[in-house]
């Protein structure tokens, strides 16, 4: 399971570089490429299951200076199904 999030920092509470360093040390978290970070930091989380994703999200929220953690997208990889429903409602029999 892969999730993309945006972490918003409160610059009045913590330094951006200190919070970014703490975020980068969390297992399964990847900072998105960028020359510099403002107070909104895009990240990716690669987790084994929904519980570990929630645990990582809560860990991000507990970092001093993190004001918000917004989940933008979550991708679940399930077992392939026999009948995939096409957007128009017809099965594709894949």
- Report the side by side order of strands in the sheet with 2-9: 29-31, 40-46, 2-9, 66-75
Q: Which domain holds residue 30?
A: 2-75
Is residue 5 within 8 Å of residue 42, measured between CB atoms? yes
pLDDT tens for the chain, 94 residues long, are 899 999 999 878 767 788 888 999 999 999 987 655 678 899 999 998 889 999 999 999 999 989 999 999 998 776 555 555 555 544 445 5
Structure tokens that stand for 4 in this block: 């993309």
Q: How many domains does the chain have?
A: 1
- Please report whether residue 53 resides in a domain: yes
Asked whether residue 61 is assigned to any structural domain, the reply reads: yes
Q: Is residue 92 part of a domain?
A: no
* Residue 3 neighbours by CB distance under 10 Å: 20
Residue 65 lies in a domain: yes
Per-residue tokens: 40? 């909104």
């Amino acid at each position: 399971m892969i999730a993309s999030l945006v972490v918003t920092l409160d610059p009045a509470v913590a330094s951006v570089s200190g919070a970014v360093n703490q975020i980068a040390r969390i297992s399964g978290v990847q900072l998105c490429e960028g020359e510099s970070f403002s107070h909104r930091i895009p990240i990716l989380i690669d987790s084994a299951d929904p519980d570990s994703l929630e645990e990582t999200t809560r860990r991000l929220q507990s970092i001093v200076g993190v004001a918000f953690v917004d989940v933008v997208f979550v991708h679940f990889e399930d077992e392939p199904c026999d009948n995939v429903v096409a957007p128009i409602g017809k099965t594709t029999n894949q």
